[in-house]
Structure 1
Amino acid sequence: MSGGTFHVHGPHDHELEHATQHAAGHAAHGEHAAQGGGSMTNQIALFTAVIATVGAIFAYMGGATQANAGLYKNNAAIKKTEASNQWNYFQAKSTKQSLAEVSRDLAPTASDRDKYQAKIDRYEKEKKDIQAGAEKIEAEAREWDKRSDEQMHLHHRWAQATTALQVSIALAAIALMTRKKWLEMTMFGVGAIGAGIGVAAMLHV
């Protein structure tokens, strides 16, 4: 299981700060910047704000699914312990049944044999009840394990989506500084990939 919680905060916070500073700088360059680069600046600034918001949501979902995975795994461990205790109890009953069978076979009278046979029959019934309970608990443990694995899979999806959005925000800052159109298009592409992975996580894919 992944150890650390995934954060949106980090690299993109600095990039967002740079993006804001460059947006302010370009706005002060005069009429030419307003007509030419202003459109690109506004586009990237809006994109960055939206992506940062979506990234924060994705990071929250990633942390939530990781917490759920740990909780479900813990529930599975508890159920496995309960099942183990039941099987130990089952084994104890089997030992008593075996001793009763030996005692029955060595009993000198019919009444003694009947007495031990009654114990054997009781142990056999108790064993069936204990076995059914242990198997039920084991099934519950497997279900908790399955749910934990599903949550961990979703956590990885949210983490991938958040990382893609972080990269997209970093590209937005570089695009602002370099005024390269291809960087702007790459920024949009990586952002779309991150959003797509997030949608896949929402759909439990």
Structure 2
Amino acid sequence: MSGHGFHVHGPHDHEIEHAAHHGGKDPFQGRIAVTTAILATVGALFGYMGGATQANASLYKNNAAIKKTEASNQWNYYQAKSSKQSLQELALQLVSEEKKADVRKEIDRYKAEKAEIKEGADKLEAEARDWDHQSDEQMHLHHRWAQATTALQVSIALAAITLLTRRKWLEIGMYAVAGGGTLLGVAAALHM
């Protein structure tokens, strides 16, 4: 072990270093090395977008939970007003005739308050559904970005094997998987 730290190089790294030290006269190695660098760069961008959409999905799901809690609080308030209204309706049966008008006013007041509370609770539930929908969309995009990133990672691994074996079918496979990953990334960018 050297005093400069411990370094682990994969077969692909060794091939790139070998090409750099020996003039890199082999166009096959140069083409695969450049392709690998491009794939790694695009893969890093896709990985970033995957992380960003996952964070957005979590944030939106949290917002949905907050709105659901606020709606639940409103429904509890609505229930309390309903209970008070029910007590007033019972009181209407028990009070003297001269007090019935005041009790009816209270019943009407509770009905009006309940209607307002219901409107607010319904609005909060709609907002919660909207946040949930946005979260689901972001998770879908996250999965697309993750699939694209994984495909590019596989294509980079295929590039390393291609450099070692010099098999044309592996090179074709590498480009095919990279193309599929790129298409998945484009689909994510287009929100598909």
Q: What CA distance in whole angstroms lies between the structure 2 residues aligned with 1:158 and 1:152? A: 10
* Aligned position for 2:12: 19
Q: Which of 92, 100, 108 lines up with 1:121 in the alignment?
A: 108
Other-structure match for 1:163: 150
Aligned 1:51-130 pairs, distance under 5 A: 51-109=39-97, 111-130=98-117
- Partner Cα separation in structure 2 for residue 23 and residue 71 of structure 1: 42
Taking a change above 3 Å as real, the CA distance of residues 107 and 177 of structure 1, as seen in their structure-2 partners, is same
Gaps of 5+ in 2: 1-7
Shift of 1:170: 0.4
TM-score of the superposed pair, with normalisation by structure 1: 0.86
Q: Deviations over 1:100-151 (max 9, x none)?
A: 1111122222x20001000001000000000000000000000000111111
Q: What residue is the counterpart of 1:7 in the other structure?
A: none
For 2:190 and 2:13, the matched residues in 1 are separated by 34
Instruction: Give % identity.
Output: 61
CA contact (8 A) 1:94 1:123 kept: yes
1:148 matched to 2:135? The reply is yes
- How many Å separate the matches in 2 of 1:91 and 1:24? 73
Once superposed, what is the RMSD of the aligned Cα atoms?
1.7
SS of residue matched to 1:70? helix
Please tell me whether residue 189 in structure 1 is matched to residue 182 in structure 2. Answer: no
* CA distance in 2: counterparts of 1:52 and 1:114, whole angstroms: 79
Match of 2:3 in 1: none
**Aligned-partner Cα distance in 1 for 2:21–2:91:** 101
Please state whether the residue corresponding to 1:204 is helix, strand or coil: coil
Q: How many residues in Structure 1 have an aligned counterpart in Structure 2?
A: 185
Task: Specify which of 5, 15, 35 is matched with residue 47 of structure 1.
Answer: 35
Secondary structure of 1:199's match?
helix
| Shift, 1:21, TM fit | 2.0
Asked if 2 retains the 8 angstrom alpha-carbon contact of 1:23 and 1:176, the reply is no
Aligned to 2:162: 175
